[in-house]
């Protein structure tokens, strides 16, 4: 199995930036496409961004396009989510996951999540 651990969450003011990290262990990370999801209280988990194993193909939810960037460093077994121009509606628990697609059931492995809170 693959173990995923997120870090980098916290509290930031509107318009600020954060970079989330997800470190993988226990599997062959370099062959796994990866994604980020988020879940706000009372809402379903939603897709944020995805990246192919090579890093050459990425996809984003419309709500974050132009503000968030997903990247990966395969030698470090790490996936990143760089977030800029943060809005209150970005407040959620952010999860990294192994898989490809825009639905939660298309991913096989999940991290435990990291809280992002955007306030003014």
The two beta strands, 34-39 and 46-51, are antiparallel
Confidence class of residue 26 from pLDDT cuts 50, 70 and 90? Answer: confident
pLDDT at residue 28 tops 90: no
Q: Are 60 and 49 in contact (CB under 8 A)?
A: yes
pLDDT digits (tens, 9 = 90+) for 68-118: 999 999 999 999 999 999 999 999 999 999 999 999 999 999 999 999 999
**Mean pLDDT, rounded, of the chain:** 95
pLDDT at residue 4 tops 90: yes
Per DSSP, what are the bridge partners of residue 115? 93
**DSSP-assigned letters across all residues of 11-64:** EEETT--EEEEEEEESS-GGG--EEEEEE-TTS--EEEEEE-TTSS-EEE-TTT
Per-residue confidence (pLDDT) for residue 53, from 0 to 100: 87
Q: What average pLDDT does the segment 51-80 reach?
A: 95
């Amino acid at each position: 199995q693959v173990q995923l651990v997120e870090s980098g969450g916290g509290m930031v003011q509107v318009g600020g930036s954060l970079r989330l990290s997800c470190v993988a262990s226990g599997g062959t990370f370099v062959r796994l496409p990866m994604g980020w999801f988020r879940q706000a209280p009372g809402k379903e988990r939603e897709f944020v961004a995805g990246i192919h194993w090579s890093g050459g193909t990425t996809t984003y939810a419309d709500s974050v396009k132009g503000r968030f960037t997903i990247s990966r460093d395969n030698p470090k077994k790490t996936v990143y989510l760089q977030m800029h121009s943060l809005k209150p509606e970005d407040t959620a628990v952010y999860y990294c996951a192994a898989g490809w697609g825009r639905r939660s059931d298309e991913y096989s492995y999940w991290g435990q999540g990291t809280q992002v809170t955007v306030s003014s």
